[in-house]
Structures are given as C-alpha cells and as structure tokens.
Amino acid sequence: MSNNQIQLFDTKSRKLQIVESSDGKSLRIYSCGPTVYRDAHVGNMRTFLLGDLITRLAKHSGYQVKFIQNITDVGHMSEDFVEDKILAQAKAEAKDPYEVAKFYESRFHQDLKSLNINAADLYPKASGCIPLMHDLIKKLIDTDHAYVGSDNCVYFSAQSYQGYGAISGNRLDALKPGHNFEYTEGGAKKFHADWALWKAAAGRTQMIWDSPWGPGFPGWHIECSAMSLHYLDEFVDIHLGGIDLRFPHHENERAQSNSSINNEAVALWVHGEHLLFEGRKMAKSTGNVVLVSDLISKHLDPLSLRLCFLENRYRSQMDLSWDSLKAAHLLIQRWRDKTATWAKDKSLDKKQAQGFIDEISADFSADLDTPRALQKLRSIEKAQTLSDGVKYEIFKCVDDLFGLDLLKPSLGKGELTSDAQSLFDQRQIARNKGDFTESDRLRGLLLKVGVVVRDSKDGQSWEWLI
Ligand SMILES: [Zn+2]
C-alpha cells in the first residue's frame, strides 16, 4: 500500500487528472469490452491491459475497485459495416450466433488469463441487458432526447445534448451531412448526426427482441451507457477504451448517459493508443493480425507481450515486432532465474527495499510511466550496492504492479509437450547405446518442434527455440 496520488490523462479535459473515488468508497471503472465474433488480436489486448494496469495500481494504492467490462454479443454496427458482425460470422461458420459469441467470449477470457490480466468484477453481456437498455431509451424519449423515427427505429437527438463533442473535439455543426453515421436510415432521422438507440428488426429474424417500439435490436452505444450507469450506480470514475472508440462511440455514450442523469456521468476518459505490428497497422484485410495463440505456438511466454506493452507508454502508438517479443521473453527468463538465486539470501534491509518499491509505484502513478519503472528494475538488477535479499524483496513486491510472474521458475525449466518428451527420452536411450546417428536424427526432430537440445558432461538438456 502506498500513498501516491494516481494521475491519468483525461481525453476530455486534455490534462492529467488526479484519480478520485467519487463516493469515497470504491473506484468505479468501466472498460469497453470485445465484440465477440472473432479472436481479439494483440492490439486489442493492449487496450484490455490498460484496465488491468489501472486496477492493479489502484488496489496497490489502497483503493477498493469495482471494475466492469461489457461483452458486445449483439447489434454491433460500425460506420463501414452495415451487417451485424456476429450474425455475419455465424453465417460464415454455419452456426447459431449465440454459439459463435459464446465461443469467442471464452477465447477472450483465455487470452486475458495468458496475459495475467485480472478478471473484472463482472462481464455483462449486451444480450442479457436488453431490459436495461429499454428503460434507458424510454427515459431518453420521455425527456425529449430521443424520438421514434418513421422507420420505427429510436434515434438519439444529437442536438438535444449541448455538450456534444467535448471528448473528440467534433462539433455537431462541423459534422457534414452525408457522412455515413452507423446506418443508412432512408431519411427517418431528423438530423444527420442522430444515431439509432433501437433498430427495428426490418426482416431480421435472429437476435431480435420485443420492445415498446416493435421487435428489433439495440444500437452499440446505448449498451455501454445502460451497463455503466446500472452496474456502477450512475457514475464512472474512470472510463477506458481504445483511442478508436473516442468518436463516435464514447461521444455518443457521453451524450446518452449525461442526458439520462442530467449530469456528467464520467470523471475521467482514458484512451489507449494503437498498436502497429512490424511497422504496419494490424488489420485482417492486409493479413497482418497476430493473436496471443500465435505467440504461444512459437513457444514465447505470452507475458513477453505484456512486457513489450509495458516498455511503451499507453498513450504512445507503438510498433511491436517478433524481435522485441523474443527479447522480452529472454528478459523475463533472466529475471526469473535471478529472483530464484536472490531468494536464497535471507538478509534484508526492509527500509532500503521499501524506498525502491515506493519509487516504482510512483512511476506507475505518474500516468502509468511503465518504461521508467522497468528502467528502475534493470538498474536494481545490476546494482552492486544492493544485497540479493533486497533485490528479491523489491522484485517480489512490485510484481503485483507489473504482473510478470517474476517469482515463477523460468520457462526453459518448464515441461515439454508429451510428443517432445517422448523424442527426448528416445534420444537418451540412443545415446546410452552409443547410437549417435539416431541421436542426431532425434535432435533434428526436436528442433523441428522448437526444442534445442544440448549435451554436456551431465547429460542432455533442452530449451525452447525462440
Ligand atoms: Zn463501449
């Protein structure tokens, strides 16, 4: 526990702001979650890590945290995509859309686990919160912030909310008519920048619900307003998401939520920047998509991805590469080996260790200056003036912020897959018999599955090829 004030950059005020619990009890955090129609790529994981870093830091600093992340499993329509993504994927996979959503949701949770991203307190699903959305839409209609269009869709009236544009800097009078806002609505909207809160089914037969305005399905933005207001008791201390959600998603969410409670609903808007991979934008269309499972199949510790993210400020665009992932993998291994050695020294100057722990917490509290915090770890590792016991204590205590499992045995000492273990055992038998031709053949086979074998006077040993 430390007494650092946590500062984060607020996109709306464009300033660093001190994080505060508005009810004096807990810090209420909301993060936009995945749309579960495909695997989240490592760029998405960078945004999801942001929520984990902030909740870890808040807990380390003594806060109670209530953290909610939604799962979009229906109705997500973006500006350039007029078909529901989950229904389109269900069609492509010839599966029930709920099955598709369930499958990718479970993969999402697996990926979070691989990256040591602690689970949120709750993951409400859009499909499970339809009544909440109906209630909010009714309230917005009753207060003249929304209206039913001639196409039986319900639209939010952008002009009814005076503060529109504060997050993104987009002013309503500057938004040009003709820009494809979410849907082609055939003239049912009163103003070009209005957006749909509820879409009439209009021939769609799956993933639709009855409503006071006829059968249909919710728009994407209303989902986050309904869930954040409901689950966090009508106020959000920190609202998180990727920078691409700043407009229109967060701008629209803010207009809806603020109109509903007649007040500012979110204290801080925090956005994570984009990720490039090998210098290029990550996009399915260009084939440049990397998943957490791709790292695992290359025998890279998935936490090497976490370490690479920590090497960069969350607000800077970063360029990830296989080389940086490999370097991070080796660094994690080296630190784990060292902590295992340092643990043997039982002498400890607690006060000295605490000084370094506080400095590292302060780096995290300064708008998540994780590169500086990592630089401190590197200096501590090399410092000749610090005892092994002190180094162990520091690494042990700050790992709840970094989340790199620094006290685990290093990976090379982990387990082989059963196939590789069998080849490794056969090679031992060949060596015992002096059959070096067979031993070399088996070494080649092991190399093909990513295992490097070394021989020494103590026998054969192995490590992953990375
Ligand atoms: Zn959202």
Distance 30 CA to ligand 1 centre (A): 9
Question: What is the pLDDT, as a whole number, of residue 278?
Answer: 94
Ligand 1 centre to CA of 5 (Å) is 27
Tell me, what's the pLDDT at 79?
A: 38
Annotated binding site for ATP: 284
How far, in Å, from the CA of 265 to the mean position of ligand 1?
Answer: 14
Compute, in angstroms, the gap from residue 222 CA to the centroid of ligand 1: 9
Question: Is the pLDDT assigned to residue 183 strictly greater than 60?
Answer: no
For the cut 60, the answer to whether the pLDDT of residue 457 exceeds it is yes
pLDDT above 50 (res 80): no
Sign of CA dihedral 56, 61, 63, 64: positive
* CA distance linking residue 7 with residue 368, whole number of Å: 8
Q: Is the pLDDT of residue 81 over 80?
A: no
| Sole residue written with tokens 């806060």 | 63
pLDDT grade for 179, boundaries at 50, 70 and 90: low
pLDDT at 82 over 60: no
Ligand 1 centroid, distance to 71 Cα (angstroms): 9
- Structure confidence at residue 199 (pLDDT): 92
**Is the pLDDT reported for residue 34 higher than 50?**
yes
**Position 286 pLDDT exceeds 90:** no
pLDDT in tens, 232-267: 999 999 999 999 999 999 999 999 999 999 999 999
Please answer whether residues 424 and 460 qualify as being in contact, where contact means their C-beta atoms are separated by less than 8 angstroms.
Answer: yes
Distance 296 CA to ligand 1 centre (A): 29
Cα-to-centroid distance, 76 and ligand 1 (Å)? 10
> 224 CA to middle of ligand 1, Å?
5
List pLDDT tens digits, range 326-368. Answer: 999 999 999 999 999 999 999 899 999 999 999 999 999 999 9
**343's tokens:** 């643990």
Q: How far is CA 459 from the centre of its chain?
A: 43
Q: What is the whole-number distance in angstroms between the Cα of residue 444 and the centre of ligand 1?
A: 50
Q: Which residues, by Cβ under 5 Å, contact ligand 1, an ion?
A: 32, 224
- Determine the pLDDT at residue 412: 57
Q: Which residues pair with 200 in a beta bridge?
A: 216
Summarised one tens digit per residue, pLDDT across range 209-223 is 999 999 999 998 999
Q: Is 79 strand, coil or helix? A: coil
pLDDT of residue 94: 75
Quote the pLDDT of residue 416.
Answer: 79
Task: Give 186's pLDDT tier (boundaries 50, 70, 90).
Answer: low
> Does 182 have pLDDT greater than 60?
no
Containing H/E element for 394? helix 388-402
Task: Identify which has the larger pLDDT, 350 or 410.
Answer: 350
- pLDDT above 60 (res 428): yes
- Distance in Å, CA 232 to ligand 1 centroid: 14
Q: Which two tokens stand for residue 305?
A: 């991805």
pLDDT at 417 over 80: no
pLDDT digits (tens, 9 = 90+) for 87-108: 777 777 878 888 889 999 999 9
**pLDDT of 203 above 90:** no
CB distance 45 to 107 below 8 Å: no
Q: Is the pLDDT of residue 33 over 80?
A: yes
Distance 204 CA to ligand 1 centre (A): 24
What Rg value do the Cα atoms of the chain yield, rounded? 26
- Residues contributing to the annotated binding site: 32, 224, 249, 253, 284
Residue 204's pLDDT is what?
84
- Residue 2: is its pLDDT beyond 50? no
Q: How far apart (Å, rounded) are the C-alpha atoms in residues 129 and 263?
A: 23
> Quick check: 261 and 226 in contact, CB under 8 A?
no
Q: How far is the CA of 91 from the centre of ligand 1 (A)?
A: 25
Classify residue 278 by its DSSP letter: T
The predicted-structure confidence for 61-79, as pLDDT tens digits, reads as follows 999 999 999 999 986 544 3
Ligand 1 centre distance from Cα of residue 253 (Å): 7
Q: Cα(250) to centroid of ligand 1, in Å?
A: 7
Where is the binding site for Zn(2+), in residues?
32, 224, 249, 253
Q: From ligand 1's centre to the CA of 89, what distance in Å? A: 21
- Ligand 1 centroid distance, CA of 221 (Å): 6
What SS3 class is residue 271? Answer: strand
Distance 249 CA to ligand 1 centre (A): 7
Between the two ends of the chain, the Cα-to-Cα distance in Å is 37
